[in-house]
Amino acid sequence: MNFRFATSFAALALTACATPQTDTLSVRSADTAPATKPVTGSAVSAADPRAEEAGRAMLAAGGNATDAAIAVMLALTVVEPQSSGIGGGGFMVRGAADGSLITYDGRETAPAGATPEWFLAEDGSVPPFSESVLSGLSVGVPGNLRLAEKAHAEHGSLPWAKLFEPAIALAREGFAVNNRLAGYLERLPERAGGNAQSRAIYYPGGEPLAAGSIVTNEKLAQSLERIASEGADAFYDPDFAGEIVQTVAQATPREGAMTLADIEGYAAKSRDGICSTYREYRICGMGPPTSGGVAVLQILGQLERFDLGALGQDSPVTWHLFVEAQRLAYADRELYLADSDFVSVPVAGLIDKGYLAQRSALIDPDLRAANVGPGRPEGAPIAIADGDEPEEKGTSHFAVVDDAGTMVSYTSTIEGPFGSGLMAHGFYLNNELTDFSRSPEVDGRLVANRVEGGKRPRSSMAPMVIWDPDGRPFMAVGAAGGTTIPVTTARAIIGVIDFDLSAEEALALPFIMSFGEAVFLEEGTWLADSQSAFETLGHTRLVVREAPIKGNAVLRENGRWVAARDPRIEVGLQVP
Ligand code: GLU
């Protein structure tokens, strides 16, 4: 497994403001309101306040959480172009006050002409990752608008065109480039300025736009206007899709490039979702093609036998247990998780409480397990091998709850920063296909997550919704950060449920992760200063790094809904 942490560009996601020290956090009760007390109000959390505003405007206009979440996705296409948008895909999880659950899969698909050797050089070798990203080979058929269309048709209440109003206004009237976007533009000109269209918008006169500059994107405003008035069909129609196909084909060095038929044939899927309990809270998320939901439920399930609340957030043992649970979950993820429409994924077996109890028995509170491999859950297929791990960092999670208590947790992505670097119609096209294993086989055995025509690449995204032990809507949470997503999400859930933290405090908890040999500790946190404690617990390869993570949540706290953003997310305009 080849885990690559974010390089300098992704570290830009870190804010200048320090991660709160755990000893200065006030511990608040998450919600002590009696079960009979009605909870009213609503909340919207997103990585950018202008996108949150778009969501709130929908709620104020009488819309519901589904409407608001779609408006957030569209606004992020404009104001956070490096992370997500209509040129990419996503997953939406909707949990209602009556406990019902639906998940929407808008994951990108590989073109029909893609083969398992898709990324390989002529001599069969795997080229450098950046070469695969910055080409038409990495672009999957975008799924976000079909997802939005389906979710809106089934659960939206406002007219479709209304959802586009804030995004169109931001694109047409302009928005201020924030510090985070300015940093990306400066550091990643080969991606952000990948073609003439994007250079004209973000590098006028050849220089990257600075923080505080007002940028307009008329091409995107017109695209959004067209899709607003004609529906999602307008995007998937050859008239519009032609520019996407042409942009991708020009950058694709082999046969099988994306066709109009690939785009016209794209379908978002409703899926059942996956659920389990953690300390009597009901936690639900997205199943394959993402590994995120399974990994979060596995990490939590393996930790349930430990009293983390009693150990506390300041104990290295707490985080040692967390790391050991991650190692087990990621070993399973590597072997079993891929698009279940193409390969058999033993989802029920992987999150079965009995199986997780067996896996948890491998965790020693006093010592790191020497070797961690995948388990044998019920329904496990044979003869699939693990694959390599792509880079990450172009994603946004957002969460909405409306006053009916409907929670919508939506993670939207174009994969890496500025996706493939190719822009069409004013938005970046994703590089999601690099989430496939670029090697089709390992040691002569086929990798489950190999490229295949029409298949969806394995994701790590983990939008989750949670009901409390009384069955009341409690939390919607998720994160960006590629393979770190399940860890960030599980940590926030533990923070709220085990440590009784507010959502923001839980999201701010220090980052610690391991799914190979090394244990990554977040620079500038007390964990990074506690290396000897982790060494005593058997973790000898400790790596102190910045943590390129950003999580978002809405949480019911003392009878009202609160929106929280990871304080690591830089939203200001001032260059530090
Ligand atoms: N494309 C990644 C995934 O679906 C997410 C990338 C990121 O979070 O930066 O898992």
pLDDT in the model for residue 384 = 47
Q: How far apart are CA 273 and CA 555, in angstroms?
A: 21
Note whether residue 565 is domain-resident: yes
- Which residues are near ligand 1 (CB < 6 Å)? 392-395, 413, 415, 432, 435, 459-461, 480-482, 485
Mean pLDDT of 16-20: 26
Mean pLDDT of 114-131: 93
pLDDT digits (tens, 9 = 90+) for 23-74: 222 333 444 444 444 567 999 999 999 999 999 999 999 999 999 999 999 9
Domain ranges, residue 519 = 43-273+385-573
Note whether residue 401 is domain-resident: yes
* Cα distances (angstroms) measured from residue 342 to each of 109, 258, 449, 451: 12, 19, 9, 10
pTM, whole model, 2 decimals?
0.92
Q: Of 493, 497, 483, 455, which Cα lies nearest the Cα of 549?
A: 483
Q: How far apart are CA 87 and CA 82, in angstroms?
A: 11
Note whether residue 292 is domain-resident: no
Mutate which of 333, 436, 461, 552 for ligand 1? The one with the most ligand atoms within 8 Å of its CB, which is 461
Cα of 395 to ligand 1 centre, how many Å?
6
Flag whether 460 is marked binding.
yes
For residue 483, which atom of ligand 1 is closest to its CA? Answer: 10
The pLDDT confidence band at residue 548, using thresholds 50, 70 and 90, is confident
Flag whether 435 is marked binding.
yes
Lowest mean pLDDT among 161-165, 251-255, 442-446, 558-562: 442-446
> 263-267, 368-372, 378-382 — which one is most confidently predicted on average?
263-267
pLDDT in the model for residue 442 = 84
CATH number at residue 503: 3.60.20.40
Note whether residue 4 is domain-resident: no
pLDDT in the model for residue 224 = 98
**Rounded to the nearest 5°, which phi and psi values hold at 113?**
-80, 0
Cα of 548 to ligand 1 centre, how many Å?
12
pLDDT in the model for residue 3 = 32
pLDDT digits (tens, 9 = 90+) for 294-337: 999 999 999 999 999 999 999 999 999 999 999 999 999 999 99
Which residues contact residue 536 at a Cβ distance below 8 angstroms, ignoring those fewer than 6 apart? none
Please identify which of the residues 252, 395, 406, 484 carries the catalytic annotation.
Answer: 395
Q: How far apart are CA 193 and CA 234, in angstroms?
A: 26
Does the pLDDT of residue 19 top 80, yes or no?
Answer: no
216 is catalytic: no
Mutate which of 105, 428, 432, 460 for ligand 1? The one with the most ligand atoms within 8 Å of its CB, which is 460
Note whether residue 405 is domain-resident: yes
Note whether residue 506 is domain-resident: yes
Note whether residue 278 is domain-resident: no
Residue, of 513 and 27, whose pLDDT is higher: 513
Flag whether 309 is marked binding.
no
Mutate which of 5, 76, 413 for ligand 1? The one with the most ligand atoms within 8 Å of its CB, which is 413
Note whether residue 288 is domain-resident: no
Cα of 390 to ligand 1 centre, how many Å?
9
For residue 480, which atom of ligand 1 is closest to its CA? Answer: 8
pLDDT digits (tens, 9 = 90+) for 340-375: 999 999 999 999 999 999 999 999 999 999 999 999
Cα of 90 to ligand 1 centre, how many Å?
9
pLDDT in the model for residue 29 = 42
pLDDT digits (tens, 9 = 90+) for 184-223: 999 999 999 999 999 999 999 999 999 999 999 999 999 9
Mean pLDDT of 557-573: 86
Domains: count for the chain:
1
Beta strands (DSSP E) in 174-286 are: 175-176, 214-215, 269-271, 274-278, 281-285
